[in-house]
Structure 1
Amino acid sequence: MSQLIDIHALAKLLDDPKLCLIDCRFSLDQPDQGRFDYAAGHIPGARYMHLDKDLSAKVVPGITGRHPLPDPEVLQARLQRIGLNNADQVVVYDDGAGLFAARLWWSLRWLGHTRVKVLDGGFQAWTTAGLPVSQETPRPAAEGNFQGQADNSKLIDAAEIAQRLEDSSLQLLDARGPARYRGEVEPLDPVAGHIPGAANLPCAENTLADGRWLTPEQLKTRFAPWHDSGKELVSYCGSGVTACHNILAAVEAGLPEPKLYSGSWSEWITDPQRPVARG
């Protein structure tokens, strides 16, 4: 079953009382831009969730990465406040390619809510098609009844990765762009490079220029080296956000769901004893 939904299918669901629509637009350069964009216009009925304030815990300098996962109970409470119920179909979207929406898609599955899809092409596809936009902020009549339970088997931590760097059954996939992976540039973190043994699979290449996802067959080609390889895949990026995009892509391609190293590169480098590779 696809983890994506197209704009026309969503348009038919807008009046469904069991639809929970969540806007995840965000800018790393301007953290409040997504909230401003939401206020200026969003898909009717959508609630807003902020990457830093809703979908991440507070950063602990020198210990965590830049977007540590929120406490499961805190995230559950935030989802209840926007009205999420256990039986709801969730649809999440951002500006286009789903780089931030995929984080909430993964987080909901982590808490056990599997009825969640990412809007293919996001808000850009919606407005390009001339579909309706609203400035009204919906207010749920009551808190939702969503009850989640974190499945930490979906995660792997730095200690286990460090112990398994020579383990041929483990394959790390780095979702960042090639120049950051090679250590030629690093605009966000104080150390450049990648975790030794990681393969570079830039998440930006999971989608077309307009933000729409590649077909499952095209995604399967992207992941061809690891089909039937028997390897345990682990996805990471700079801070554990766009790594979720590669996890979604792998699921769309028909692979077992990769684990998430949520701390990712920005956490890995907090310990100078952890090795760094370049090139």
Structure 2
Amino acid sequence: MAYTTLISAADLAEHVFASNWVVLDCRHDLANPDFGRQAFAEGHIPNAQFATLDTDLAGEKFGADKAFRGRHPLPDRTKFIATLRRWGIDDDTQVVAYDAHGGMFAARLWWMLKWVGHDAVAVLDGGLPAWLAQGMFVSTETTSRMLGTLTDQASLVAVVGVDDVLKNLTACTRTVVDARAADRFRGENETIDPVGGHIPGAKNRFFKENLQADGRFKSADQLRSEFSELIGNPEQAIMQCGSGVTACHNLLALEVAGLPGAALYPGSWSEWCADPSRPVAQTV
């Protein structure tokens, strides 16, 4: 049985050393890019490898046209496939991504594997804290795997670009949902967002609203009820955030809720606000 959304710490423990399972540590700190690798070196789930948000899970910030694509734009698809092979991933590999932030960064890797057509990927529910709470140990040993043979398949997820979002300002056929914290959405946190505010017409769903107090995801029924109040047809919804990372958390929550089909806007707010000609709203 493939795990395609979430996996518990207990279930991961049963398979963590399986030859056809790959575990990836996605810990990161937006204010300290070295944090994740340092934390990994100090202790990680056994047999895990480290995935770097800024390089492994993101591409060049400027396109061939010199336009800014956002803080964490999608990498070149071919290069990303090569990265996945470097981690030892084959077409039949079960991948598990985790972090220590409620899935904030692991969900990005989850979505990106779906982007290249690999369905057998799950986020560790509750992350490293859930692993430790089960009494599991961590390791400082490095893991080396043979080069994988993953092939690029048809994408399992939808993507939209800045032009699609611009057109929607007039068409108003799609619901844009912003995963940033409420103060950033309102334009009140200049430390993180020098240009404050949000895309006109967007709704706010802070990604942490998907979690229970213990850091694990809410039930499918609760998520379905909450998202149904926010969006109608999920296939007409666009998820975004600051740079296309935590938006993936909302996309994962929608999948858990049984509401698939929403699209990711990878450039998100960081790309949108880089062009002063694009409109900005600062009220809820």
State the TM-score, normalizing by the size of structure 1: 0.95
Task: Return the match for 1:47 from 43, 49, 57.
Answer: 49
Deviates more, 1:58-67 or 1:176-185: 58-67
Task: Return the match for 2:120 from 100, 112, 115.
Answer: 115
> Which letter maps to 1:90?
V
Query: For residues 29-88 of structure 1, what are the alpha-carbon distances to aligned partners after superposition, in whole Å with 9 as ceiling and x for unaligned?
Result: 111111111111111111111000110113238612111111111111011111111110
Task: Return the match for 2:92 from 87, 94, 99.
Answer: 87
Change over 3 Å in CA distance of 1:13–1:248 after alignment to 2? same
Structure 2 partner of 1:220? 224
Matching of residues 133-212 of structure 1 within 5 Å: 133-140=138-145, 142-149=146-153, 151=155, 154-212=158-216
Structure 1 partner of 2:103? 98
Q: List structure 1 segments (4+ residues) > 6 angstroms apart after TM superposition.
A: none
Q: Could you tell me whether the CA contact under 8 Å between 1:121 and 1:211 is conserved in 2? A: yes
CA distance in 1, matches of 2:51, 2:208: 22
> Which letter maps to 1:29?
A
- Note the C-alpha offset of 1:208: 2.2
Matching of residues 40-79 of structure 1 within 5 Å: 40-60=42-62, 63-79=68-84
Match of 1:130, SS state, is coil
Q: Could you tell me whether the CA contact under 8 Å between 1:96 and 1:212 is conserved in 2? A: no
- What is the alpha-carbon root mean square deviation over aligned residues? 1.7
Match of 1:165, SS state, is helix
CA distance in 1, matches of 2:108, 2:128: 16
Change over 3 Å in CA distance of 1:127–1:253 after alignment to 2? same
- The answer to whether the aligner puts 1:35 opposite 2:54 as a matched pair is no
- Note the C-alpha offset of 1:185: 1.9
Change over 3 Å in CA distance of 1:96–1:177 after alignment to 2? closer
Structure 2 gaps of 5+ residues are none
Structure 1 partner of 2:278? 274
Change over 3 Å in CA distance of 1:107–1:2 after alignment to 2? closer
Structure 2 partner of 1:12? 14
Q: Could you tell me whether the CA contact under 8 Å between 1:2 and 1:252 is conserved in 2? A: no
Q: Could you tell me whether the CA contact under 8 Å between 2:26 and 2:99 is conserved in 1? A: yes
- Note the C-alpha offset of 1:251: 1.1
Query: For residues 170-196 of structure 1, what are the alpha-carbon distances to aligned partners after superposition, in whole Å with 9 as ceiling and x for unaligned?
Result: 000000111111112232232100001
Match of 2:80, SS state, is helix
CA distance in 1, matches of 2:132, 2:16: 15
Aligned length: 278
CA distance in 1, matches of 2:232, 2:79: 38
Deviates more, 1:209-218 or 1:74-83: 209-218
State the TM-score, normalizing by the size of structure 2: 0.93
- The answer to whether the aligner puts 1:125 opposite 2:127 as a matched pair is no
- Note the C-alpha offset of 1:211: 1.6
CA distance in 1, matches of 2:211, 2:201: 25
Query: For residues 96-135 of structure 1, what are the alpha-carbon distances to aligned partners after superposition, in whole Å with 9 as ceiling and x for unaligned?
Result: 4000000000000000000000000001111122102111
CA distance in 1, matches of 2:226, 2:272: 26
Deviates more, 1:4-13 or 1:166-175: 166-175
| Identity level (%) | 45
> Which letter maps to 1:244?
C
Q: Could you tell me whether the CA contact under 8 Å between 1:96 and 1:125 is conserved in 2? A: no
Structure 1 gaps of 5+ residues are none
> Which letter maps to 1:234?
I
- Note the C-alpha offset of 1:227: 6.0
Match of 1:277, SS state, is coil
